Structures are given as C-alpha cells and as structure tokens.
Structure 1
C-alpha cells in the first residue's frame, strides 16, 4: 500500500464534492466527513466495539444516524461512501473495499475516476451492489440515499 498524499486532481474532486454534499445537508440530520476519518465496520451490524473487524478511511462518507458517531469516528456502516481513485490504487484494493462496503451494508457507494472524469454509483439491493452506467460531464447524478441531492458531473471535476 502506498501511503503518499493524494494528488491535486484527487483533492480537487474531494473538495468539490464535499462542498456540494455539505451545502445540500445544511439543516438536515445527516453529516458529511472527509478523510482522514475512521469508519469502524462491524460484521452484520453488531455495534459492540470489541466485535469490530475492519477500519477504513473513505475519501468522503455521509452518516445519517448520530448513534454511529463517537469521538473516534463512525462505528457502523455510513449511508453513503465516496472513494476517489488515485493512480496508486490497485485493482485488488478497489475490489477489497467494494466487498467490505457491500458486506457492511453501505447503502450507496460512489467510485470516482478523476483521470477519466467519470463515476459509477453502486446501490445496495438485497445485500448486493448494482452499478450504474458511468456518468460523465454533461450528465447529472442523483443519490438514492440522500433524496433530492443532484450534482452536475462537471461540477465534481472543476479545477
């Protein structure tokens, strides 16, 4: 695993998306968090901390249940997770996170590719992810978890 800092396009996408989501969530009960932020994922929604198995740091995550938040971060599956690919991400790493989020019950998972300027939204249905087509600039994405959140794709990739 490479632990180098994210590159410029990664940070730009993260900042743009954080701004869009945070603006949308103003006055709502859900909160958005940016990495570094620990998400402790239990197996099958067990909440006792000693049963937690996996700690991840998604680029962005949205948590709507305040019970999941504590001083150390989030314990339990976020409602929405966003991962922004970096050139250093291996296919194995991407696949592993996909499986971890799916198993933990993350309802919506966005994978963003800053190099190709597209993203895919995975929605959890009966415990399995269903992927969207790749969205590109000129199109608008809509969240199925944060109802009403719509973002023009080009705004995600603005410099």
Structure 2
C-alpha cells in the first residue's frame, strides 16, 4: 500500500481461505514491529477503506456478505426498538471504538476497532467532534469466514480486558450465537444459543432476541 508515493504497508494474507471468498488481510509494517497509532492514522486519513488496529497490527475490513448483513440488521433492529427511550444507545458499524486492554490509558496500548454493533451507556464520552472515547457495555460481532480467528480470539480478549461487559459472537454459517459475560475483566459466563432458542442479555434485563429471526434467510 502506498501513500503519497511511498510504501507504507505490505499486504500479507491473514488466513488461508477459499479463493472465491472475500479475504481480510493483516497489514504488517515490517517483521515483528508494532504499528503505532500515528501510523494507523496516516493510513486511514482521506480514505473510504476501513481498517482496525489490534495489538499493534492493522487489519483491512473487507466488504461483508449477504448473511452477515441480514444478521446485523436483525439484531440492530431489535436493539433499536428495545433501547428506544432508554439511557443506553445501540450503534452499528462503521463507528470507531478506541480500547486499550488493561493499560491505564489509550496511548499506552492503542487499539481501534469497528464492531458490527455496540451498545453505549456513556454518551458523555462522545467528544465535541463526534468521536467516541468510552467503553461500550455490549458488543456484537458477526463472523465471516475470513474474520473468525480475529473475532473469536483477538477481539474476545481485547473486549474482555478493556472492560466490555458482554460480547455476542454471531456465526451466520453455523447459525448460532455465543454469549460471553465479563466481570472485572474476567470471563464469568459463556453460553451458546442455537435456532429455536432465544438469547437474553446478562447485562440488560429483559433484552432478548430470537435466534431464528437473526438467521432469517
């Protein structure tokens, strides 16, 4: 990848997948070198492409496919109706979330992600220029074949260590939703919900979603 005529990153395949599927790539700035937040900002400046910065590596976000978007829309629709008039607010991607694992501040361990859906209960953490500087209470990620490793491992640990309270991992191919519940940056509950079941939030009492409606195709 070049910027202003200079090479700023090299593409390397993140995970081996079928040739006919959309792939997501990790952008590596040299062997075993962590990418700085400044380098990340330089890359994303004046571009419509979407990237995430996780544990010092940059990941290009490929365009989602049909089932992914159906699942996102179904869950976000339920969230929108349920949270209407309440103090917390659901938002869907693209929307930057800045996390920093167990560090004291963002500058010590900068991570920038774009979850498919978040529920934010700290709207006072939105800056004057519209950037969110808080920690979402609930995060939803819908898997694609090329993002499974990142969403199931890297992001799971990032959300847990960053003090997110609940994480829904949605698999549209195998048609299940995995619900992770965190307390004090530790995993305290992990339950799978399949078709015919209704997932309920551990953090927001009364928030439920039918799994059948999520996988409505």
Q: Same fold (TM over 0.5)?
A: yes
Consecutive unaligned residues in structure 1, runs of 5 or more: none
- 2:76 maps to which residue? 18
Q: 1:123 aligns with which of 181, 184, 199?
A: 181
Q: Deviations over 1:44-65 (max 9, x none)?
A: 5856x65561111001000011
When normalised by structure 2's length, the TM-score is: 0.67
CA contact (8 A) 1:42 1:75 kept: no
Q: How many residues align?
A: 158
Structure 1 partner of 2:118: 61
SS of 1:102's partner is: helix
What is the match of residue 19 of structure 2?
none
1:6 aligns with 2:61: no
Question: Quick one: distance in 2 between partners of 1:45 and 1:33?
Answer: 25
Instruction: Look up the match of 1:28.
Output: 86
TM-fit CA distance, 1:105: 0.4
Higher-Rg member (1/2): 2
Counterpart residue number, 2:38: none
Change (3 A) 1:45 1:20: farther
- Displacement over 6 Å in runs of 4+: none
How far, CA to CA, are the matches of 2:122 and 2:182 in structure 1? 18
Is the CA contact 2:168–2:180 (under 8 Å) kept in the aligned structure 1?
yes
Q: Structure 1 pair 93/142, CA: closer, same or farther in 2 (3 Å)?
A: closer
Match of 1:158, SS state, is coil
1:120–1:134 CA contact under 8 A, matched in 2:
yes
**Aligned mates of 2:203, 2:131 — CA distance in 1:** 21
- Equivalent-residue separation in structure 1 for 2:202 and 2:113 (angstroms): 23
Which ranges of structure 2 fall in alignment gaps of 5 or more residues? 1-13, 15-23, 25-60
Distance between the aligned counterparts of 2:214 and 2:172, measured in 1? 9
Q: Is 1:155 the equivalent of 2:209? A: no
Please report how far the alpha carbon of residue 74 of structure 1 lies from its aligned counterpart in structure 2 after TM superposition.
Answer: 2.1
Instruction: Give the CA RMSD over aligned residues.
Output: 2.0
1:103 aligned residue (142, 150, 161): 161
Which digits, 9 at most, give the CA deviation of each residue in 1:87-130, with x for residues without a partner?
11142453111111011000000100000000110000332123
**C-alpha distance in 2 between matches for 1:92 and 1:25:** 29
Kindly indicate which of the two structures has a greater share of residues assigned to helix.
1
Shift of residue 149, structure 1, vs aligned partner = 0.4
1:113 aligns with 2:171: yes
